[in-house]
Chain A
Amino acid sequence: MSHLGHRISALVDGELGHAARERALAHVAHCDECRATLEAERSVKDLLAASVAPLPSGAVLASLQALARPGNPVPPRARSMPQGPVVPVLPPPGRAPRGSRADSRRPVAGGPAGRGTARRSTRARYAAVGALSVAGLVLGTAFAAGGPRQSPSPVVPPAAELTVEHDVTTSGFSLGDPGLGVASGLGDASGATFPTVTRR
């Protein structure tokens, strides 16, 4: 008898008829090669059965869920459930921590808890508008009260007079130094500066 070949997979999957299954099992009992192939097939099947269907990451799930919320790039619209395998929304227990972005128990806008979030958002908007209105009112009033500035007239300080005033006033509360104080004032009074004779 030739080897079982592709019938091993059918044997593992239970797809053979009763007579064919008996013949295959009888062959496996005497054929080491087909028995090894059969055991390998069964171990692969067990491995696949134990594995969990692959899930998108929490971030991807949250992004996908956010797409359906109002105000997000993809507006919500009524549509029928897609055909085909259903992607599980709830992760297996223990996989996603409570409160994580992948936690589908987090309320979404439109639900009972979502209405609370909407209220908070609305209140924040009202507060913002109110505060900006008050600030605008204050600044507007201040701007009006400030009025256009009278352009100050041009001024040239009377340098010589100010320097003499400095010297004569200072002499009233400094301990004698008429020479230095007045000599420096002399320069301004006559339009000449105190001479610089050497340089350090």
Chain B
Amino acid sequence: MRPLLPLTGAAAVLLASAAVVALVVSPPGNPGRPADDVSDGTGARPVVDDQARRLLDRAAAAPATTPYHGVQFVSAWTSAGATSEVVDVVHDPAGGTTVRSDGTVRVPGRSVTLLAAGAPSIAGGGAVGLLVRHYSVAVAGTGRVAGRPVDVIAVRRPGSAAADPDAARFWLDGASGLVLRREVYDRRGRTTRASAFVEVTVGQGAVPAGAARTAWTATLDRSTLDRMRQHGWHCPAALPGPLTLVDARRGGAGQDIVHLSYSDGIASVSVFEQRGRLDETGLAGHAQRATGDHEVWVRGEVPRRVVWSSGGTVYTVVADAPERTVDAVVAALPHRGSGDGPLGRLGRGLDRVGSWFNPFG
């Protein structure tokens, strides 16, 4: 009979060795959830009403051809409180959108002009395609905003019951298709974001050419992102929400910052990655906060900005999204040590040795 003891002993030793190697290879901390683990768990498919889709497509195309100006009231609600402001908005399809605030007793007046970026580099289908990929849409009725007739579009979470609250509502100008009012609700039906024109003039709006700030011009496509992943950049195709990777760019003073944009058509999250270690002395105005088992620096509520360093990369998340989603996104991204210790060196070495034998590397 074949002796079992030596095999058992050897196997045990090999297993123990493998366990040691695995412990060493596995980086400490949260390495980040896999990109595929972003399902909302319902499995339900969005239901898209044709008429609602047509109205939304018209609304998405309207700013490219229709100038306007008006006064808009904007509000946001978070666990920290509510924020509200009245701003003047001027939109020129060629020059961009200028938003100006007279300020409040706490915030000085300010103005900025932005020119919307072109088509996203990753996800096709535009804003409406992104929205109907994640939500059901239907025409909910008609109404009036700033004295103008509007169509009301209800945006609902897929699979939600009739009694469940909408995820959002859009009020679309009947004449031009412009979005004149927009509200976003949480799962309990509470309003979290709201904006509405209190007065608007469609057809008039002039913004000086060249005054607008524009998006970084160096876009990154899927194949570039694949190569970047092989060189240690963390570029998940999706994030909790679920949010889809929509656009990727590179910019900054040294063209050394990667910007990954995620959205579900309503919420939007930007992930910026930059090689280096976080210089915490330059984070004035940020509060250090423990999120799960890691420390991050947080500033603001709308948008919320979260900064931390992990494994030689500084991550900055800028998010206009529900707080739960922001927390889940931050938790899903890497939170390792600096990699300066022996384990970090060993992990780098194993990665490098592994790449020697990886035919796809």
Main secondary structure on chain A at its contact with chain B?
helix
B residues within 8 A CB of A198? 81-82, 84
A residues within 8 A CB of B74? 179-180, 183
Q: Quick check: is B110 within 8 A (CB to CB) of the other chain? A: yes
- A168-200: which have CB < 8 Å to B? 168-190, 192-200
Q: Quick check: is A132 within 8 A (CB to CB) of the other chain? A: yes
Main secondary structure on chain B at its contact with chain A?
mixed
Q: Quick check: is B339 within 8 A (CB to CB) of the other chain? A: yes
Q: Chain A nearest CB: distance from B282 CB in Å?
A: 3
Q: Chain A nearest CB: distance from B205 CB in Å?
A: 11
Question: Given known contacts A145-B349, A174-B263, A175-B56, is B112 in contact with A185 (CB within 8 Å)?
Answer: yes
Q: Quick check: is A93 within 8 A (CB to CB) of the other chain? A: no
Q: Chain B nearest CB: distance from A89 CB in Å?
A: 26
Q: Contact between B108 and A166 (Cβ–Cβ < 8 Å)? A: no
B residues within 8 A CB of A132? 13, 17
B residues within 8 A CB of A200? 77, 79, 81-82
A184 touches which one: B281, B303, B345 (CB < 8 A)?
B303
For chain B, the count of residues having a C-beta within 8 Å of the partner chain is 118
B302 touches which one: A138, A144, A184, A199 (CB < 8 A)?
A184
Q: Chain B nearest CB: distance from A156 CB in Å?
A: 3
Q: Quick check: is B104 within 8 A (CB to CB) of the other chain? A: yes
Q: Contact between A164 and B108 (Cβ–Cβ < 8 Å)? A: no
Question: Given known contacts A149-B344, A195-B104, is B316 in contact with A179 (CB within 8 Å)?
Answer: no
B115 touches which one: A124, A168, A185, A195 (CB < 8 A)?
A168
Q: Quick check: is A116 within 8 A (CB to CB) of the other chain? A: yes
For chain A, the count of residues having a C-beta within 8 Å of the partner chain is 73
Q: Chain A nearest CB: distance from B309 CB in Å?
A: 8
Number of A-B contacts (CB under 8 A): 306
A155 touches which one: B9, B131, B263, B278 (CB < 8 A)?
B278
Q: Chain B nearest CB: distance from A173 CB in Å?
A: 5
Q: Contact between A194 and B81 (Cβ–Cβ < 8 Å)? A: no
B215 touches which one: A153, A156, A165 (CB < 8 A)?
A165
Q: Chain B nearest CB: distance from A124 CB in Å?
A: 3
Question: Given known contacts A152-B277, A163-B303, A169-B117, is B170 in contact with A175 (CB within 8 Å)?
Answer: yes
Q: Chain B nearest CB: distance from A152 CB in Å?
A: 4
Given contacts A145-B353, A149-B339, A178-B89, list 12 more A-B pairs with CB under 8 A.
A124-B10, A128-B9, A131-B14, A142-B353, A162-B316, A172-B127, A173-B268, A182-B112, A183-B74, A195-B85, A195-B104, A195-B107
